[in-house]
């Protein structure tokens, strides 16, 4: 962010530049940060979608079990176990996700 602000300041300090030139300069300064934010946001959205699908699967199983006549207490326990498994499974994905983001951000800086 610091580099983006310094770059932006240089754009604004050019007294000979037209408004359009300054605007283009500012857009060039902001582009790397915008790409970095988009990369991180996309990765986090993928992670959240996966976790959401897992929890929806648990809810579907619980709904089906209740519809089949299973005892509510038993179904609640199964649902909690399923959700805990989702959480554990997804926590294990965090290091790989962080590495992927680091690699992507490093590639943007080259």
In percent, how much of the chain has pLDDT > 90? 83
Over residues 81-93, the mean pLDDT reads 97
Tell me: the pLDDT tens digits for 40-79? 999 999 999 999 999 999 999 999 999 999 999 999 999 9
In the prediction, which pLDDT does 67 show?
A: 96
Domain range list for the chain: 1-109
Q: Once rounded to an integer, what is the mean pLDDT over residues 100-107?
A: 94
Tell me the CA distances in angstroms from 40 to 5, 19, 72, 99, 104, one per residue in order. 20, 32, 40, 11, 9
């Amino acid at each position: 962010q610091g580099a983006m602000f310094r770059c932006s300041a240089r754009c604004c300090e050019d007294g000979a530049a037209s408004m359009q030139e300054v605007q283009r300069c500012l857009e060039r300064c902001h582009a790397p940060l915008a790409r970095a934010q988009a990369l991180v946001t996309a990765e986090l959205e993928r992670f959240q979608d996966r976790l959401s699908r897992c929890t929806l699967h648990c809810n579907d199983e619980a709904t089906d079990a209740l519809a089949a006549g299973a005892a509510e207490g038993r179904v609640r326990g199964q649902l909690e176990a399923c959700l805990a498994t989702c959480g554990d499974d997804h926590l294990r994905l965090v290091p790989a996700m962080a590495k992927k983001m680091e690699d992507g951000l490093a590639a943007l800086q080259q």
